[in-house]
Structure 1
Amino acid sequence: MIAWEFGAADLAGSRFAHSPMAELVASMFALRGAGAAWVAPGWVARASAAAGPTLRAVAAGPRGYAPDFLTPVPPTARPRLADELATVSSTPADRVAAEVLDGWTGHAPPPEILAFERDPAAALGVLIAELRAYHEAAIAPLWQRLRGFADAEIAGRMRVAAAESPRAMIEGLHPRLGWDGSALLIRYPHKSGQWSGGPGMTLLPTGFAGPEVYAMTTGRSLWYAPRGYGNLWSRPPSPGAALTALLGPTRAAVLTLLAAPASTGEVADRLGLAPATASHHLTTLRDAGLITGTRAGRRLLYQRTGLGDELTG
C-alpha cells in the first residue's frame, strides 16, 4: 500500500478535470492489456492499427509507464487536445530525452527510442504527429461518450461531498482508495511506501483507466474510471417485457439506456429517435422522478434516479 501525504488542506484545494491526453495515454495502457473483458475487440483492432511505432515505443514500453511530459496536469477543467499537445511540444528537449530513455532502462531500445537520444526535438515532432493520428482514430469516435461519463461523474461526486462528506467522496472514487485524514491510501497489491505531498490534487475521471487507478506524482493527479465506463462500447440494452408493458416500448428503452449518462442528442442517436421525440420522453421520465438532469457546461445529461434503477430491476 502507498501512503500519499494528503491532508485536509489538500482536500480543500483539490479539483476535477477531464483530459484528452489522460484518456489517450490510459487507452494505450488498455491497449497493452487488451485481454481485459471491458475493452471492445473492435476498438482494439482499430486502435492497434492507428498506434504508430514511436507512440507504441514511448507510451507502452517494457517498464509499463508513459513519460510524465505526456500527461501534463490540465490547468482548466476541460482542456482541448490542441492545448495539451502544445504543452507537450514545449517540453524542454533534455527532459523529453531523459524521460523517454528512462522508460527503457535495462532493455535494448528500438530505433524509435534511440532517435530521442540523437535529436529529441525531431523525435518529439514525430511523436506529436502520431498522437494526433491515434487520437483521431481511437479516441475521437468515443469522445462525446467519454466526456459525458466524466461530466456526470464529477457532478455525482460533488453531490456526495455536499450530502455526506468530502472524505466519503474521496473514498468512493475507487475500491483501492482510502483516506485517513493525513494520507491518501492507495492499495496497490505490489507496491508499498510513503510519498511526499504538495498542494491539492487534480482528480481526473478517465474512462480508459478501466478497473485501474493511476497516481501521477508529478503535478499530483489521480486517474480513475467514472461510473459506467464499461458501457463505452455497449449497444443500447433491451428493456424487459414488464417494463415495456408499463411504460411503452420507447419510454422503456430510454429509461433502460440511461444507466449511463446521456444528453438528449445522444439518446436520440442511440435509439434512432427524432430529437423532439427523445426530449418528450426524457421530460416525462424526469417529471415522474425516474431520471434526473445534471448540467455539465452547455450540456444537460440525464441519468436514472434510484427509483429508476429499481424500476428497471
Structure 2
Amino acid sequence: MSDRRELGVARLIQAPPDVVWRIYTERTAEWFCPRPWTTPVVDWDLRAGGRCNTTQQSPEGERHSYQGVFLEVDPGRRLVSTGAMSAGWTPQNGDMHFIRIDTFEREGDATRYTARPALDRQGGRHAQGHGLRGRLGRGRRPAGGTRRRRGVMSDKIVPCLWFAGDGEAAARFYVSLLPDSRIDAVTRSPVETPSGPAGSVLTVQFTLAGQAYLALNGEPDFPFTQAVSFQILTDDQAETDRLWDALVADGGREVQCGWLTDRWGLSWQVTPRRLMQLTTDPDPARARAAMQAMMSMVKIDIAALERAVADA
C-alpha cells in the first residue's frame, strides 16, 4: 500500500482569478492560517525554482515550518510547490514531505480555488487538523478527485529543444535577447533519470517573442543540426548587430548568409526584414542583385544590400 495520499479541497470565491491570485500571493500570511493561528514568516520568491518557506504559529507560541521550492508559477492559474513540514506536527515521526498544487479556475465571475497537496498519511491527517481545512472552512474534494491541469503552455504546437544538461541556462539566455520573452516554469525531476539525479532540472518552459518553447535536459546523444533553425526578423542594422553578436558570443560560430550557431549548437538566422523585401522585389534585376549580394555575406549588411540594388 502506498505511504502517500492526496487531499483535495475547493472553494468557490466570488472574485475573478487575478484578484484571488493577488490576495493569495500578496496577503499570504492572512490566507494561510485559521484564526487564532498566525503566519509570522513568509519567505516566498515567486518564480520557478524560487523559495517557498512559511512558518505558522499557534496561540501558545508553538511554531510549525514549511520549506520548499516553487516548481511551476502560472500567474492567475496555477502554482506548484514542494515542501517539508517541520517535525513539530508529530515529533516522533520526523519530517513530512509533500507536493502542493493550487489552481485558480474561472467560473463565470467567480474563481474555483483548489488546493491539492500530496502528503504521507500522517502528514495528511495533521494538515487536515491544523491548516488546510481550517483556512478554507467547509472545503470539499474536487468532483471525481481530480481537475484538468492547466499548464503555462497554451500553444497547440510547442518546439522542444534537447540540451545536454544546459536547458535552463540556454532558456535564460534566449529570453534575455527579445521582448515578450520570459521563463514560465522550471520543472525538477522527482526521480533519478539518465539526464540527472532527482531534483535536477528536467524541463524549462519559456516564451520567446510570444512563442512557447520547451527546453529538455537529456543525455548528450542528440546534438542540434542546421536542418532545424530559428529565424529572427530584425528591423534595422542595429538590432541585427546586437542579436548577431550576442548569439555568436562565448563559443558560437558564424556560418553564411545570415546563419550562425550559438554556443549550444542551435542554428539561427538573423534576417533583416529589408533583405526579405529586396529579394522579393517585383523588378527581377533588383531581386537578383539583392540575392547575389546576400550570398556573399556572413552577417547581413543592409547598407551593402541597398548599394547592390541601386546599381542593378
Q: TM-score, normalised by structure 2?
A: 0.25
Higher helix share: 1
**More relative contact order, 1 or 2 (CA 8 Å, 6+ apart):** 1
Structure number with larger C-alpha Rg: 2
